[in-house]
Amino acid sequence: MTLQQLKITWIVSDIIGPVLLHNKLLEKAVKSIYILQGESVERVHSIAILIKGDPQKKINGIQELISNIEDAQELDRHYIPTRYPNGVPFGKPYEFYSKTTAEGCIKCAQKLILNCRKTLGAT
């Protein structure tokens, strides 16, 4: 493994990895609420759409999480670039992220996960 490959591995695992992991955990948490309500939203990956709903896709939304819509929108902005190696218009995904950006995304996800837990506990 070259020094460049080690650098990329470190950046991906230390910065992009946690952002993607938290986003996927949050998606599962939000979808758990839908499952408990007997609804299917399997092919939707936008946290904001899952929270606010979409009548055309027959997604009702989750009113208990609507106060976190801006956090959800922030996380949605990072979903494609962190998931796919060609998710950015040029360069490499890790070049678009800093530790500060990653930490901000993780805080957004943690707030939403906490509210999902509260909502799931109430159902």
Domains of the chain by residue range: 30-122
Is the pLDDT confidence value at 95 over 80? no
54 forms beta bridges with 59
Write the pLDDT tens digit of every residue in 36-64. Answer: 999 988 788 899 999 999 999 889 999 99
User: Topology of domain 30-122, per CATH?
Assistant: Four Helix Bundle (Hemerythrin (Met), subunit A) (1.20.120)
Q: How far apart are CA 74 and CA 109, in angstroms?
A: 9
Q: How far apart are CA 54 and CA 63, in angstroms?
A: 13
